[in-house]
Amino acid sequence: MTTFQLRDVPPRLAIGAFILNTGLGKLKADAETAEGLHGMACVAYPFLKKIEPRRFTRLLAWTEITVGGTLLAPMVPTRLAGLALTGFSSGLIGLYLRVPGMREPGSLRPTEAGTPLAKDFWMMGIGLGFLSARPRWSRAQASRCPWHRSRG
């Protein structure tokens, strides 16, 4: 059984490389950048105020590196990569929905400032699609599985 199908390769490569790159970039963030990232995150998620901005930025960077690496690693099953991508993108969608100025008033349409965050809806959709990926089992393999036998 393969860990992913050929159709999963392009989105895993594209999104994985994108997220990995943003994470690597944040590792080199200066104090001003860290303050900005932390400030925006604290608007959406006030509990993050307890974390120092540089530490928050490093944690965010390593989270992005981990999610990007998970998507790029061929030995990671697509459903697991989808779980990581869905969780990560849901947090970013929270930013988009909660930070003022990201959306047009009374709408989900992004403002110019919100357009970079609007891409997170695409990542969420792809992550959810990966979650629905099923392993390719033959009928013989499925018939040996008690759960599949009981389903009829």
Which CA distances in Å does 46 have to 40, 42, 55, 143?
A: 10, 5, 16, 50
Structure tokens at 107: 């709408």
Predicted local distance difference test score (pLDDT) of residue 61: 98
Predicted local distance difference test score (pLDDT) of residue 6: 87
Task: Kindly state whether residue 1 falls inside one of the protein's structural domains.
Answer: no
The total domain count for the chain is: 1
Q: Report whether 95 contacts 86 (CB < 8 A).
A: no
Question: What does the alpha-carbon distance between residue 86 and residue 46 come to, in Å, rounded to a whole number?
Answer: 22
Mean pLDDT by 10 residues, the chain (152 residues): 75 96 96 96 97 98 98 94 96 94 93 91 95 67 56 53
Predicted local distance difference test score (pLDDT) of residue 5: 83
Question: What does the alpha-carbon distance between residue 152 and residue 36 come to, in Å, rounded to a whole number?
Answer: 55
Task: Kindly state whether residue 11 falls inside one of the protein's structural domains.
Answer: yes
CB atoms within 10 A of CB 132: 9
Predicted local distance difference test score (pLDDT) of residue 118: 87
Predicted local distance difference test score (pLDDT) of residue 27: 96
| Structural domain boundaries enclosing 31 | 6-150
Task: Kindly state whether residue 86 falls inside one of the protein's structural domains.
Answer: yes
Predicted local distance difference test score (pLDDT) of residue 133: 75
Rounded to two decimals, what is the model's pTM? 0.82
